[in-house]
Amino acid sequence: MTRLTPVAPVREAAGARPGSRIRRVLPGGVVAAVTLALPAFLDDSALTVYIFLGLAAMVTVGVSLLMGYAGQVSLGQGAFYAVGGYTAGILAVRGGPPLAGLLAAPVVAAAFAVVVGVPLLRLRGHHLAFATIATQLILLSLAGQLEFTGGDIGLQGIPRLGAGPYELGDASGYAYLTWAGVALVMLVTRNVIVSRPGRALRALATSETAAASSGVPVGRYKLVVFALSAAFAGLAGGIYAFYVGYVAPSSFPVLLSIEYIVMAVVGGLGTVWGAVVGAAAITLLVQGLNVIGTAPGMPSYAPSVLSYAVYAVVLIVVVLFLPGGLLPAVTARLRRER
Amino acid sequence: MREFLTYLVNGLAVGCGFALIASGLVAVHRVTGVVNFAQGMFAVVAGLSASWLLGVGLPHGVSEVAAVLIATMTGLLTGLIAIGRRGTTPQSSLIVTLGAGVLAYAVEIFVWGDQPRSFPGLPGSLTVAGVGVQRQHLLVIAATAVTFVLLSAFFGRTYLGKALSACASNPYAARVVGIDVTTMGLLAFAIGGLLGGVAGVLVTPLRPISFDSDVTLIVNGFAAAVFGALTRPVLALSGALLLGVAESLAAGYGYAAYQTEIALGLMLVIMVVQSTRRATVLEEST
C-alpha cells in the first residue's frame, strides 16, 4: 500500500545531549504559557474563534495519530465528534449532571468506534476512507430521524456546563476547559507514540504483514488507536455541545471531517504539534478570509467561496509540494540555518 | 404488482446514474490506481452547467452536449493536478482529488449560487404493459446502455483503448512498449469527466442538484464500483442497478427516510465480505 507520507522517523533517545532536553521542552512551555494567558486579552468573538480552534486541534491530534502513525485514513472523524456532542447533549437535556455528560462523551465515542471499527478496520486505504465517510452519512441520517436525537431540528437548550453550585457561564471558562482538553489529548498522544505500542503502530503502518509476523497484535492495536482518536473527537464534541448549547445533524457535515484532514495534512501528519499548528493555521486563515468576505460591499456568497477555496488550495499545495506538512518543513529549515 | 414495476423502472434509472459515476471511477482507477473522489463533482458541474445554458437560451441537446464537454474539461484539469506531478502516490492523489472537489464548491457557488438547480428532461410518460413510465427514466436507461456498449467497444476494439488497458494491467510493461502512462492517465481522467458529465446531465431532471450533491453521488458511485472491486465495469453496472433498485423499493414501500442507511449499509457489508477473501500480503504488495 502506498502511503501519503513516510512514517514518522523514530526519534533519537530522549536526553541524548545535556542541552537538548531544555531546548525541546522550552518551546512547549512558552506555548502553554501563551495559551493560558490569551483568554484574558481576547474579546468574546475572538474567544469563540479561540475555543473552536482548540476543539479542532483536539480532533486533529487524533486524526494525525490515526493517519500519520497508524496509517489508517478516516474521512469520518466528524462522526465521533457528533457522537460526543449528542451524548453530552442528550444526557444534559434529560437532566443528568452536565459533568457526567462531558465525561461520557469521549467514552461513548470510543465505544462507538470499537463497535464500528471491528468490521471496518479490516478495510484498508481508500476502502476504509469511504467506509468511514459512509458511517458518518448513516449516523447523520439516523440522527435526523430518531426521536431521542431531536430529528432534523436537533437538541436545543443544552444547559451550561457545571458541577454543583459552580456553573461555567462565560466564554473564557470554556476556553480554559478546551485548552486543558487539548493539553490532555497531546499528552496522551505523546505517551502513546513513545511507548512500545507506538512503535508497533508505526510498524503496522508500513506493512501489516511484517508487523504481524514480528508479533504485533495488528487488529487490536488498530482498534485501540481508532477508539483513542474517536475519544479525542468525542471530548471535543462534548465541549462543543455545552458551549454552543445546540446540536443538530447540520452541525456535523461531511465537510467537517475533510477539514480535519486538511488541518492534519497541513500541519504535518505524524507530529503532535503539527496537528495543533495545522488547526491554528487553517482556523485563523479561514477566520481572516471570513472578515474580508463579510466586509461591506462583498457579495453574500463571498465568505463560503473564500473558505472553500482556501481549504482546497492549501490542501492541494501542501500534499503536492510539502508532503511532510508545514511544521516539519519549517523546523527542518530552522535546523539547517542553525 | 404495478407499483412494484414502477418502482423497479424508477430504481433502474437511478441506478444507471450511479453506474455512470461508477464507470468513471473504474476508468480512472484501472489506469492510474487513483480513487477519484472528484467523480461526483463532474456530474454536479455538468448538471449545473446544463441548467445554466438552458436558462441562457440554448436549445436542448446543445446545452447538454456542451455541459458534458465542460465536465470533460473539468476531468482533464482534475487529472492534471492529481497525477500531473511526477511521483504523486495514489493515496496522495486521492487527497488531491478531495481538494479538487472542495475547490469546485468555491467555483460552483461563485458561478451558479448555492441553491439547488434542475431543468426539465423529456416530458410525458409512456404506458408499457400497463405501467406508466416517465420518458426521462427510459432516456436515462437507454443512454446508459449505449454508453456502456461504446465504452466496451472503445476499450476492447480501438488502439487507444487497448493502450489504456495496457496501462491498467501493467504500467511498467506499458511504458516499455512506448506508451506514455501519464498521458493515458490524463485521458482516463478526461473519460471520467465525460462519464460523470453524462450522469449529471441525465440525472439532474430527476433530482435537483446543488453544489454539495457530489458527496451522495460519489459515495453511491463508489458503493457500486466496489461490487466490481473498482476494476470491472460490468460488475459495477450490476452493483449500481442493484443499489438503485434497493433504494427505490425501500422508498416505495415506506422506508424513504432510510434510503441512505440501506444503500450505504449494503456497501459496507460488501466491502467487509470482500476484504475477508483477500489476503493482506497480496493487498500490500500491489
Identify the pLDDT of residue A84: 93
Torsion of CA A320, A326, A330, A336, to 10 degrees: -40
How many other C-beta atoms can be found within 10 angstroms of the C-beta atom of residue B7?
Answer: 18
Identify the pLDDT of residue A211: 84
A322 contacts chain B (CB < 8 A)? no
Q: A227 near A113, Cβ under 8 Å? A: yes
| Residue A6 predicted with pLDDT over 50 | no
Q: Which residue among B85, B88, B106 places its CB closest to the CB of A305?
A: B106
Rounded to whole angstroms, the Cα distance separating A69 from A9 reads 10
Identify the pLDDT of residue A9: 46
Rounded to whole angstroms, the Cα distance separating A188 from A58 reads 11
Go through B142-181 and write b for each residue having 16 or more CB atoms within 10 A of its CB, e for each that does not: ebbeebbeebeebbeeeeebebbbbbbeebeebeeeebeb
CA distance A67 to chain B (A): 12
Identify the pLDDT of residue A3: 45
A286 contacts chain B (CB < 8 A)? no
Measured between its terminal Cα atoms, the distance across chain A in Å is: 37
pLDDT, tens digit, 9 for 90 and up, residues A87-122: 998 888 887 788 888 899 999 999 999 999 988 888
A159 contacts chain B (CB < 8 A)? no
Q: B238 near A90, Cβ under 8 Å? A: no
Lowest mean pLDDT among A160-164, A228-232, A284-288, B198-202: A160-164
CA distance B101 to chain A (A): 8
What's the grid cell of residue B106?
468555491
| Residue A168 predicted with pLDDT over 90 | no
For A305, name the nearest residue in chain B, comparing CA atoms only: B106
How many other C-beta atoms can be found within 10 angstroms of the C-beta atom of residue A195?
Answer: 11
What's the grid cell of residue B225?
464500483
For B261, name the nearest residue in chain A, comparing CA atoms only: A138
- Interhelix angle B233-250/B2-32, rounded to 10 degrees, is 140
- A305, B103: Cβ pair inside 8 Å? no
* Arithmetic mean of pLDDT over chain A: 82
Query: Which pLDDT band, with edges at 50, 70 and 90, does A230 fall under?
Result: very high
Taking residues A142-157, report their average pLDDT.
Answer: 81
- B283, A3: Cβ pair inside 8 Å? no
What's the grid cell of residue B246?
434497493
Enter the ipTM: 0.83
| Residue A237 predicted with pLDDT over 90 | yes
A315 contacts chain B (CB < 8 A)? yes
Identify the pLDDT of residue B130: 67
A308 contacts chain B (CB < 8 A)? yes
pLDDT, tens digit, 9 for 90 and up, residues A248-278: 888 888 888 888 988 888 888 878 888 888 8
What domains can you pick out in chain B, each with its CATH number? 2-285 (1.10.3470)
Rounded to whole angstroms, the Cα distance separating A82 from A249 reads 8
Residue predicted with more confidence, B239 or A297: B239
Identify the pLDDT of residue A15: 40
Rounded to whole angstroms, the Cα distance separating B118 from A114 reads 42
Residues 6+ apart with CB under 8 A from B173: B166
Lowest mean pLDDT among A155-164, A179-188, B107-116: A155-164
Residue of A79, A66, A74 lying closest to A185 (CA atoms): A66
Taking residues A179-196, report their average pLDDT.
Answer: 89
Identify the pLDDT of residue B281: 53
Burial of A121 (0-12, 13-18, 19+ CB in 10 A): buried
Rounded to whole angstroms, the Cα distance separating B177 from B13 reads 41
Write out chain A residues lying below 8 Å of B105, CB-based. 304, 308, 312
B179 contacts chain A (CB < 8 A)? no
Query: Which pLDDT band, with edges at 50, 70 and 90, does A2 fall under?
Result: very low
The continuous run of DSSP H or E covering B134 comes out as: strand B131-134
Mean pLDDT by 10 residues, chain B (286 residues): 79 88 88 86 91 84 89 91 79 85 87 79 70 79 90 85 80 82 88 92 85 83 81 82 84 74 82 74 52
Query: Which pLDDT band, with edges at 50, 70 and 90, does A11 fall under?
Result: very low
Rounded to whole angstroms, the Cα distance separating B8 from B76 reads 35
Query: Which pLDDT band, with edges at 50, 70 and 90, does A197 fall under?
Result: confident
What's the grid cell of residue A9?
522517523
For residue A240, the one-letter residue type is Y
- A126, B265: Cβ pair inside 8 Å? no
- A320, B102: Cβ pair inside 8 Å? no
Query: Which pLDDT band, with edges at 50, 70 and 90, does A146 fall under?
Result: confident
The secondary structure of A250-297, three-state, reads: HHCCHHHHHHHHHHHHHHCCCCHHHHHHHHHHHHHHHHHHHHHHCCCC
Distances (CA, A) of A337 to A179, A193, A330, A333, B46: 32, 28, 11, 6, 50
Query: Which pLDDT band, with edges at 50, 70 and 90, does A42 fall under?
Result: confident
Residue of A139, A3, A157, A174 lying closest to A90 (CA atoms): A157
CA distance B159 to chain A (A): 30
Task: Tell which B residues from 97 to 156 touch A, by Cβ distance under 8 Å.
Answer: 98-106, 109-110, 113-114
A163 contacts chain B (CB < 8 A)? no
Any idea where the domains of chain A sit in the sequence? 32-161+168-252
Chain centre distance of CA B48: 16
Lowest mean pLDDT among A4-8, A70-74, B12-16: A4-8
| Residue A8 predicted with pLDDT over 60 | no
Burial of A181 (0-12, 13-18, 19+ CB in 10 A): buried
Residues 6+ apart with CB under 8 A from B230: B25, B26, B29, B30, B35, B236
Distances (CA, A) of B184 to A158, A321, B31, B81, B114: 55, 23, 7, 15, 35
Identify the pLDDT of residue A19: 56
